[in-house]
Amino acid sequence: MSAILPGVSPSMMCADPLHLYDDVIALEKGGVQFFHYDIMDGAFVPNFTLGPDLIKAVRKVSKVPADIHMMVQSPEKHLHLFDLQKGDVVSVHQESTIHLQRTLAAIKDTGALSCVALNPATPLCMLEDVLDDIDMVLIMTVNPGFAGQKLVPSTLNKIFRLRKWLDETGHENVRIEADGNVSFENAVKMRAAGADLFVAGTSAVFRAGGIGENLKKLSVCIQ
């Protein structure tokens, strides 16, 4: 198991848009490591969600860094819109760009951390020639685009194989983020498999019980 401190990156598309400020303050108080912003273009995934202006607004009231998940075609064309800061992380899908290595280098040039996201059906070997260019891998544990979906079971073993491969190839510091249906029960399994950052949406944080209490429960599950 990697020595990385596990953490939560709540899925802001699941926050209450009519009380977003309250949710941001509650999440920050609850000790989240990032705010996870799902950016969707209706082409790479059949949905639209958040945009750069929302991230800009949140940055005015919170120092929590941005974990920007680009579910868009050719993400390299849009990075400049996000005013990336040191400490942010940007995930681009391997399936979404012809020039993955160049895009990862462009992310790092901004001072942000670089991450490759893989859909459930995309094999780990697609990462083979960019392991030295990444700080994190985002494993989609559902098919991307919508909250409230069910875990794709095979992705647990995928996380396990990825952690083993990273540790065996001298990439112990590369983080693994699990994104999708991170329920209390699934978080335990994802952590045991080797994930260390958890995108929590309607399954664990934005649900009955309140953000503070749910974050406390989830943090126990991911130790």
Q: Which does 147 bind (CB under 5 to 8 A by kind): ligand DX5, Zn ion, none?
A: ligand DX5
CA distance 130 to 118: 13
CA distance 117 to 138: 4
In the bound state with Zn ion, the residue whose beta carbon lies nearer, of 106 and 115, is: 115
CA distance 117 to 98: 14
CA distance 67 to 38: 9
- In the complex, least distance from residue 219 CB atom to ligand DX5, rounded to whole angstroms: 16
Residue nearest to ligand DX5 (CB): 201
Contacting residues toward ligand DX5, per CB under 6 A: 11, 13-14, 38, 69, 142, 144-145, 147-149, 179-182, 199, 201-203
In the bound state with ligand DX5, the residue whose beta carbon lies nearer, of 62 and 202, is: 202
Q: Which amino acid, 198?
A: F
Structure tokens of 53? 């202006």
Q: Which does 14 bind (CB under 5 to 8 A by kind): ligand DX5, Zn ion, none?
A: ligand DX5
Q: Which does 175 bind (CB under 5 to 8 A by kind): Zn ion, ligand DX5, none?
A: none
> Which residues touch 107 (CB under 8 Å, ≥6 apart)?
79, 84, 90, 92, 113, 114
In the bound state with ligand DX5, the residue whose beta carbon lies nearer, of 171 and 221, is: 221
Q: Which does 171 bind (CB under 5 to 8 A by kind): ligand DX5, Zn ion, none?
A: none
- In the complex, least distance from residue 11 CB atom to ligand DX5, rounded to whole angstroms: 3
Q: In angstroms, what CA-CA distances link 172 with 38, 130, 195, 207?
A: 26, 15, 12, 34
In the bound state with Zn ion, the residue whose beta carbon lies nearer, of 9 and 168, is: 9
Q: What are the φ and ψ backbone dihedral angles of 5, each rounded to 5 degrees?
A: -70, 120
Q: Report the chain's C-alpha Rg in angstroms.
A: 16
The closest alpha carbon to 43, from 91, 80, 96, belongs to 96
Contacting residues toward Zn ion, per CB under 5 A: 38, 69, 179
Catalytic residues, by residue number, are: 38, 179
- In the complex, least distance from residue 146 CB atom to ligand DX5, rounded to whole angstroms: 6
Q: Which does 202 bind (CB under 5 to 8 A by kind): Zn ion, ligand DX5, none?
A: ligand DX5
- In the complex, least distance from residue 212 CB atom to ligand DX5, rounded to whole angstroms: 18
In the bound state with ligand DX5, the residue whose beta carbon lies nearer, of 124 and 147, is: 147
Identify the H or E element spanning 155.
helix 154-168
- In the complex, least distance from residue 42 CB atom to ligand DX5, rounded to whole angstroms: 13
